[in-house]
A and B are shown apart, each in its own frame.
Chain A
Amino acid sequence: MLRYVALKTGRAAFVVWAAFTLTFVLLFVLPANPVDLLFDPTELNTVPPEVREQVADNYGFNKPVLLQYADRLGHALTGDFGSSVQSGRPVASAILDVLPETLLLSAGALVLAVLAAVGIALVATSTRRAWVRNVVEALPSGAVSVPVFLSGILILQVFSFKLGWFPAFGDDGPRSIVLPLITLAIPVAGPIAQLLVRSFATEFHSGYVTTSWAKGATRGGIILRDVLRNASLPALTIAGITFGNLIAGSVITETVFARKGIGRLTQNAINTLDVPLVQGIVVFVAVSFALINLFVDLIYPLLDPRMRAVVEAQK
C-alpha cells in the first residue's frame, strides 16, 4: 500500500518537475536572447543597451545556464517564480488572485459535465426505444465537435442578447457564471459521455447482469445497483485527464465572457510575452493536473476491490 502511494506521488512530482524544466528550456534557454522577450516587441529597438544589460543582470541571464536553472528551481520550490514583467507583481500572487474565479468555474463545469454525461449514459442504457438511444448517443460527438468559442457565442446570442436571461459578461453575482459554466461544460462532457455510454452498454450485457436478472431484479434496479458503479470506474480516470480540456476551455471561455481568471491571465501573459508569468502558470497547471490525477489514482483502489487486492499484493 505504502509503495503504491509512494510510486504515484513520485510520478506526480516528476510531472511537475518535467513541466518546470521544459518551460525553462523553452523560455530561457532556446530564445537567442531571452532579454528581448522581456520587452514589448514594438519598443524593443528603442531600449538603450545599458538598460538591457542591467535587466539581463537582474534576471541572471549572464550566468551559466545550469546555475540559472538551479537558481530558478530553488526559488520555484519555495513558490517564487519571480515577478511579472508587465505588472511587476510577484507571479505567485498574480495567479492566486484570480485562482478562486477559475476554480469555481472549472470545478462547476466539471460537476456539470459529469452529471450530464451520467445522465446521457443512463438514458441511453435504460430506454427501450431505439430512436431515443440513437439521438442520445449522438449528443457526445456533437458536443466534442463544436468548438468552445462557437458554442460560447451561440449561447451568448440566445440566452443573453435575445432572451436576456443572463448577463453577457462580467463576474458579479451568481447569474453571471451560468453561461460560462455551460459553455465550458459542453466540450468536457463529450468525451466523458462517450466513454460512459460505451461502458454502460458493455456492463449492461455482462455476466453479472444476467445473474441479477435471474435473481428477479428489475431493469432500473440493475442499472442503479450493478451497472452504474462498475461502468463509472473507467470514467473516473478520464475525468482526471479531462482537466487539460478544462484549462484549454477556460482560456477561451473567460475571454469570450470577459471574466477574470487563470485563462484570461494566460492569454494576457502570452500576448505580452510575460515569460515569468507564463512559466508560473505552466507549472501551476502541471501541479493541479498532477494533484488531480494523484487523487484519482489514490481513490481508485477504494472504489474497486480488485485494484485494492493488486495494490495490497505489491508490498
Chain B
Amino acid sequence: MTHDPLLRITDLAIDYPAGRRRWTPAVRGVSLHVEPGELVALVGESGSGKTTLVQGALGLLPPVARRRSGSIAYSGVEVTGWNDKRMARVRGNYVGFIPQDPNTSLNPTKRIGHQVIEAVRFNAPRPGTAADYRAAALESLRTAGLQDAERVFQQFPHELSGGMKQRALIAIALAGHPKIIVADEPTSALDVTVQKVILDHLAGLRERLGIGILLVTHDLGVALERADRILVMRAGEIVEHGPVRQILDQPTDDYTRRLLAASPAQHHGRLRDNTSATGLVALEARALSKSYKHVHALKTADLVVRKGTTHAIVGESGAGKSTLAGILAGFTTADSGTVHVGATELTALNRRELRTIRRDLQFVFQNPYTSLDPRFTVRRLVEEPLRAFGVPIEGRAAELLKAVALDESYLNRLPGQLSGGQRQRVAIARALALNPGILVLDEAVSALDVSVQAQILQLLVDLQAESGLSYVFVTHDLGVVRLIADDVTVMKDGAVVETGPVEEVFHAPQHDYTRRLLDAIPGRDLRSTR
C-alpha cells in the first residue's frame, strides 16, 4: 500500500500581477512533502516566496494572486482549487497554522479563552456542550505549554507577553487536533531566549503528538538546529534540499553556501582584526539612569567605548539598550549620570552646543525603510547633514557613496528604488558625511536579510579600519556581536549585568543571564561539531 505524506505540494507556481496582463512569478514550480513526525524547514530570505508558498498551501492567497500550475494534497486528498467553504474544513482540522507576529495575530478585543474555544468549536467532530469546549480549550492551552491555563483563559492579548501570546496561538493551532502544523517564522518577533523555549516546545510536540511540522524561517541557524530536512528557497524556487547534515557538510548550491557563510553562527571571530584600536576613551557614560513614568528603563548604567573599537550593547526587548543609545547620542536626556565625548560632557551641553557635537557623534537607525525620506534623492539625503552645518558639498556625495560601496549612478535614485541593504548603506553614508568620530548604530542590521547583513557588517569593520571610527553597536543578536565587536555589554531590565572584551564574555561568561543568552543562539552547537 502506498503511503501518502501529510502534505504534498507538487510543482506549485503562483503569480502576482505586475501591471496590465503581466504577471510576476512569486513561486515557480515548487515541490515538497512533509511526513508524520517530521520537521521540515523551509529557509529563504525576504522576497524568496516562502510566505506565498505557505499561503498557497493553506488556501489563503490574496485574491489578486493566481495559481498557474501545480497541486496541493493533504494525506493524498487533492485540495487544489477548493473554495473557502471546503478549505475551512481542512484548516484547523487537518492543518494548524502558527503565524509570524504574535502581537497582531490575536483579536485584541476578545479574551484568549474565547479565541481558543472558537478553534475547538469549528473543528469539533460533533457538537458539544459549552463545558466540553471549555475543557478542550484549557487542555489545548496546557499542551501549548501555558501552565497557568485558567488565568490566561480569562486574559486579553495585551495582558500577555510576546512569548505567551505565541503559546496561545500554538494552542489555537493545536485545538483542532491537526496532523500537520505550518509555522511561518513563528519566533522572529520574539527574543532569543523565548525563541529557544518556543522551538523546544514545538520539537517536543512533534515527538509527543507525532505531528508533522513545516517550519518557515529566514534563520538558517534555527533550521540547521531544529529540522530533519531543509529546503532552501530563493527567488521562488527550491535551490537545494536534503537532510541537515548533508546541507551543512556538502551544500551543492552556490546560494546555500553563501547563506551558510553569511550566518553569524558560522564564524569564529571578528570579520577583520582590529588594527585601529587605541587605549584612548572615545565615549564614557557614568551611572546613567532614566525612568518613564513608573518604569525604570535604565538603572545606573556605565559604559566605556575605546577609540577605534566597537562596543556592542546586547540584551532582549525591554533591556534598556535603545534608551541607553538614545542618551549616548543626545536624543534623550538622562535623569541622572553623565556622558563624556572625549573631554566634553555631553549631558551638560545646551541645545546649540549639542548641535556642534553632533558633527562628531552620528546615529544610524534600525529600519532603513523608515529612516530615509522617501521623497529625497540619495544625493539630497547624503548631503543633508553637510548643508545643515554649512560644510562645502562639492563632490562629497559621490565620495561618501564610494565609501559605502555604491557607485555614482545611485545619486539620483529615490529610496523606493533601493533594496534594504542599499538603503542601509545610504543611511550609513549620511551618518559618515560630517566625518564623525563615533557612530551609534541602533539595531542597524536587524531588519536586513542575513546575506545583506553580512555585507553591511563587513562594510562597517572596513570603514573602521580605514578611518579609526568608534562604534556603539546596539543589537539583540549575540551572533552578530562576535563578528564586529571588541567589547560587549550585556543588559537586562535596564541594568548592566556584564561587560568586558568579547572573547572573555563569550568564553567565560560570569553572569547566568549571559550564559542563557549564549545558549539560545541558534545553530551554536552545530559549529562546534562541524
Closest Cβ neighbor of B123 among chain A residues = A216
Closest Cβ neighbor of A305 among chain B residues = B156
Closest Cβ neighbor of A308 among chain B residues = B156
Q: A207-B104, A219-B84 are in contact. Are A213 and B60 (CB under 8 A)?
A: yes
Q: A229-B109, A305-B156, A309-B159 are in contact. Are A215 and B176 (CB under 8 A)?
A: yes
With an 8 A cutoff between CB atoms, is B122 at the interface? yes
Kindly list chain B residues whose C-beta atoms are within 8 Å of the C-beta of A210: 60, 97, 99, 105
Kindly list chain A residues whose C-beta atoms are within 8 Å of the C-beta of B107: 208, 211-212, 226, 230
With an 8 A cutoff between CB atoms, is A7 at the interface? no
Compute how far the CA of A229 lies from the CA of B106 in the bound complex, rounded to whole angstroms: 14
Compute how far the CA of A217 lies from the CA of B93 in the bound complex, rounded to whole angstroms: 11
Contact of A208 among B95, B108, B156 (CB under 8 A): B108
Most B Cβ at <10 Å: residue of A206, A211, A233: A211
Task: Report yes or no: A216 in contact with B176, Cβ–Cβ below 8 A.
Answer: yes
Closest chain-A Cβ to B177's Cβ sits at a distance in Å of 12
How many residue pairs link A and B with beta carbons under 8 A? The number is: 90
Compute how far the CA of A211 lies from the CA of B119 in the bound complex, rounded to whole angstroms: 10
Contact of B118 among A207, A225, A233, A303 (CB under 8 A): A225
Compute how far the CA of A211 lies from the CA of B176 in the bound complex, rounded to whole angstroms: 13
With an 8 A cutoff between CB atoms, is A306 at the interface? yes
Task: Report yes or no: B108 in contact with A214, Cβ–Cβ below 8 A.
Answer: no
With an 8 A cutoff between CB atoms, is A97 at the interface? no
Compute how far the CA of A190 lies from the CA of B329 in the bound complex, rounded to whole angstroms: 48
Task: Report yes or no: B97 in contact with A211, Cβ–Cβ below 8 A.
Answer: yes
Kindly list chain A residues whose C-beta atoms are within 8 Å of the C-beta of B84: 218-219
Closest Cβ neighbor of B155 among chain A residues = A305
Closest Cβ neighbor of A208 among chain B residues = B107
With an 8 A cutoff between CB atoms, is A57 at the interface? no
With an 8 A cutoff between CB atoms, is A71 at the interface? no
With an 8 A cutoff between CB atoms, is A304 at the interface? yes
Kindly list chain B residues whose C-beta atoms are within 8 Å of the C-beta of A212: 107, 118
Compute how far the CA of A174 lies from the CA of B105 in the bound complex, rounded to whole angstroms: 48
Compute how far the CA of A218 lies from the CA of B58 in the bound complex, rounded to whole angstroms: 14
Task: Report yes or no: A216 in contact with B119, Cβ–Cβ below 8 A.
Answer: yes
Compute how far the CA of A208 lies from the CA of B156 in the bound complex, rounded to whole angstroms: 13
Task: Report yes or no: A305 in contact with B92, Cβ–Cβ below 8 A.
Answer: no
Task: Report yes or no: A215 in contact with B60, Cβ–Cβ below 8 A.
Answer: no
Closest Cβ neighbor of B122 among chain A residues = A216
Compute how far the CA of A304 lies from the CA of B122 in the bound complex, rounded to whole angstroms: 25
Kindly list chain B residues whose C-beta atoms are within 8 Å of the C-beta of A214: 58, 60, 91-92, 95-97, 99, 172-173
Kindly list chain A residues whose C-beta atoms are within 8 Å of the C-beta of B99: 207, 210-211, 214
Compute how far the CA of A128 lies from the CA of B115 in the bound complex, rounded to whole angstroms: 26
Compute how far the CA of A219 lies from the CA of B97 in the bound complex, rounded to whole angstroms: 17
Closest Cβ neighbor of B84 among chain A residues = A219
Task: Report yes or no: B88 in contact with A208, Cβ–Cβ below 8 A.
Answer: no
Closest Cβ neighbor of A210 among chain B residues = B99
Task: Report yes or no: B91 in contact with A306, Cβ–Cβ below 8 A.
Answer: no
Q: A215-B91, A215-B122 are in contact. Are A306 and B176 (CB under 8 A)?
A: no
Kindly list chain B residues whose C-beta atoms are within 8 Å of the C-beta of A218: 84-85, 88
With an 8 A cutoff between CB atoms, is B101 at the interface? yes
With an 8 A cutoff between CB atoms, is B89 at the interface? yes
Task: Report yes or no: A230 in contact with B108, Cβ–Cβ below 8 A.
Answer: yes
> Which 10 pairs across A and B sit closest by C-beta, in order of nearness?
A216-B92, A214-B97, A207-B104, A207-B105, A216-B122, A305-B156, A215-B119, A208-B107, A215-B92, A216-B91
A-B CB contact pairs (8 Å), 29 listed: A207-B101, A208-B104, A208-B106, A208-B107, A210-B105, A211-B97, A211-B106, A211-B107, A211-B172, A212-B118, A213-B60, A213-B88, A214-B95, A214-B99, A214-B173, A215-B118, A215-B172, A215-B175, A216-B122, A217-B88, A218-B84, A218-B88, A219-B84, A226-B107, A304-B108, A304-B109, A305-B108, A306-B156, A309-B156
For the complex with contacts A208-B104, A212-B107, A229-B109, 5 further pairs of A-B residues with Cβ separation under 8 Å are A211-B115, A215-B119, A218-B88, A226-B107, A226-B110
